Structure 1
Amino acid sequence: MRKSILVAGATGNLGNRICRELIKREATVSAIVRPSTDTIKIEALLKMGVLVIKVDMNSTEELAKACQGKDIVVSALAGLDDVIIELQKRLLDAALKANVPRFIPSDFCTDYTDLIPGENRNFDLRRVFKAYLDSTSIQASSVFNGAFADILQYNTPVLNLENRSIGYWGEKADWKLDFTSVDDTAAFTAEVALDDKAPRDLQIASFQISPNMLWNLVKEITGEAFSLRQLSSMEDFADFIKKQRADNPAGEKELYARWQQSQYMYSMFSTRHHQLANWRYGNLTWTTGLAYLRSFVR
């Protein structure tokens, strides 16, 4: 029997791909969108075979109506406290009201459970919602994918193609960082959505790669030895982020403020995934670090 799945955040990059992967697996997929959603994005979902439901996201009643008869609600929402906490709470309350048995929250990030509260603003928002989610009776599964591999293309300090440099903090040149492609994250999430026995937390990574490993792979691809350097101690990096945040109060209202980007970097060098669930679903093929780097490193 086909699973009936409701996706929130389906017009976003990850949410759209989750819908695609669910359709490929012959699930019946519905997506909730705001009445003001761009018609082009709605048409893309309809063309894929997704049933689009326009709802007032501030109305638990309307959300509950959309949840009726669904086997699971998948949240791929992105935003600050008004979305990650408040909207997800309404969505969860609606799922409970409609007797939906399972829920996947928007925890697509590093597994923050071992991190210190206060070190990453966006993770703290997810931590607040997690506490609320775990206080309910619904069966939940979080997919922790580390960092989206796309960030390697954005000239961050970890890999800067413009400066031909690779950087790290502390004594962590051999510290493995967790990266997962958006496609791999979407495919794994689709499998979890269809798996009634999925556990509470699942850690994944398309590839785990240290700065030293990154240096070697880039040299293999380009034939060029990039500059590999320690940027500062972890302690100095933490102090820098605090000052950066204090100097930019407007960033509190920005999803990816510059200091928030630094917090993500700090988190990547503070914790890593030790119990990968990559092989839980044997039909999946994972992107390798070399293959991903070859797609854009020149």
Structure 2
Amino acid sequence: MTSTVLVAGATGDLGSRIVRELLGDSAHPDTLVRVLTRPGGGTARAMYAGEDRVDIHEAAYTDEPALVAALSGVDAVISAVSGTATVILDAQRALLAAAVKAGVKRFIPSDYSADYRRVTPGSNRNFELRREFAATLDAAPLRGTSVLNGAFTDMLTGQAPMILFGRRRVLFWSSPDQVLDFTTKDDVARVVALVALDADAPRVVEVSGDRVTARSIAQTLSGLTGTPFTPQWAGTTGTLSTMSKIGRALSKDKNATFPAWQGMQYFVSMFSGEAQLHHVDNERYGPHDWTSVREVVQAHLRRTAVQSA
């Protein structure tokens, strides 16, 4: 049976991966994809030119008739938009309202995170936005499914300064043995695509590509490099939480999606254990070779060696 899935945010990093999965071998070969893009932008057409199973629909989130028209005949909506309140709340609420009017049966919000449902209120801005939108989704007359995956593994070699490669240290707060959930963006994209085609998907699908600790990451790096990496205490989660509040108060751009203080809040949620996943079901969509933290850091070490050669 042919399914039509609309992807909002399809030109972004994660969104483009989701579209690729919907068109790939993991999904049904008859799956049709609609890409929702803002009027006047040429990125989507450039990215998906030549894809005969992809239709481009232009609509502003403030234009309800255009949104409803774009959603007409769609079976499921995947939101992969990224931002703060104007996106996670305002744009997604507009998209959800239009989906209801168009008779869409299923909606996957832009969560793709650790478990925001259990974190202390006010301790993580981005989680608060997701929790607030979840309440709106729960009240809507369609079926919602959130995908929770911990943190993106890619963060460990990028924007999250947890691994200090040059100093051979792995930072931790409070405990080096706190379990941390990591999943690569490619693995998340696969799950999201399969969830969109799963009419029986539950309200929340939890997956974790790898479950590690700061101590085990240090051991992995020691084995890969032949040089000892040591877990480094960086303070308590309480201290880090205080630092994040100060950083937020002093921030010039309080609407940035991932400022430094937001990264601190994410580590507080993870190392406190509040955001840990407790109902992981990696087998829901069959066997899969999940990409491990070891594989990600190993690839990073190889790239670094090539660049410095």
1:23 — aligned with what? 23
Task: Tell whether 2:45 aligns with 1:42.
Answer: yes
Q: Secondary structure at the match of 1:32?
A: strand
Contact (CA 8 Å) 1:169, 1:232: kept in 2 or not? Answer: yes
TM (norm. structure 1) is 0.95
Q: Distance in 1 between matches of 2:86 and 2:187?
A: 28
Q: Distance in 2 between matches of 1:45 and 1:11?
A: 9
Map 1:1-298 onto structure 2 (within 5 A). Answer: 1-24=1-24, 25=27, 26=29, 27-37=31-41, 39-48=42-51, 49-154=53-158, 156-170=160-174, 172-248=175-251, 250-270=252-272, 271-297=275-301
TM-score w.r.t. length of structure 2: 0.92
Q: Secondary structure at the match of 2:182?
A: strand
What CA deviation, in whole Å up to 9, does each residue of 1:154-191 have, x standing for no partner?
Answer: 26342121332101011x11111111101000001111
Structure 1 gaps of 5+ residues are none
Aligned in 2, Cα 1:161/1:242: closer, same or farther, shift over 3 Å? same
Q: Which amino acid is the alignment partner of residue 264 of structure 1?
A: Y
- Structure 1 pair 93–40 and aligned structure 2 pair: CA distance change class (3 A): closer
CA distance in 2, matches of 1:121, 1:87: 17
Q: Which amino acid aligns with 1:221?
A: L
**Is the 1:188–1:284 Cα contact (8 Å) retained in structure 2?**
no
What amino acid does structure 1 have at the position aligned with 2:80?
Answer: A
Cα distance in 1 for residues equivalent to 2:232 and 2:60 = 50
Percent sequence identity is 36
State the Cα distance separating 1:283 from its structure 2 match: 4.4
User: Is the Cα–Cα contact under 8 Å of residues 177 and 268 in structure 1 kept in the other structure?
Assistant: yes
Contact 2:10–2:44 (CA under 8 A) maintained in structure 1: no
Q: Which moved more, 1:172-181 or 1:268-277?
A: 268-277
Q: How far 1:46 moved relative to its partner?
A: 2.8
Gapped regions of structure 2 (runs ≥ 5): 303-309
Separation in structure 1 between the aligned mates of residue 292 and residue 235 of structure 2, nearest angstrom = 29
Alpha-carbon distance in structure 2 between the residues aligned to 1:211 and 1:73: 36
Query: What is the alpha-carbon distance in structure 2 between the residues aligned to residue 118 and residue 232 of structure 1?
Result: 20
Q: Which stretch shifts more, 157-166 or 203-212? A: 157-166
CA deviations on 1:107-166 (whole Å, 9 max, x unpaired) are 111110011111111111111111111111110000011111111112634212133210
Q: How far apart in 2 are the matches of 1:256 and 1:130?
A: 20
More displaced 10-residue stretch of structure 1: 263-272 or 66-75: 263-272
Distance 1:45 1:118 in 2: 40
| Alpha-carbon contact 2:35-2:44 (below 8 Å) kept | no
How far does the alpha carbon of each residue in 1:191-219 deviate from its partner, in whole angstroms, 9 at most, with x for none? 10110000001111110110110011101
Q: Is the 8 A contact 1:11 1:42 kept in 2?
A: no
Tell me, in whole angstroms, the C-alpha distance in 1 between the residues paired with 2:237 and 2:130.
24
Cα distance in 1 for partners of 2:102, 2:168 equals 53
> Which residue identity is paired with 2:10?
A
In structure 1, distance between residues paired with 2:64 and 2:271: 39
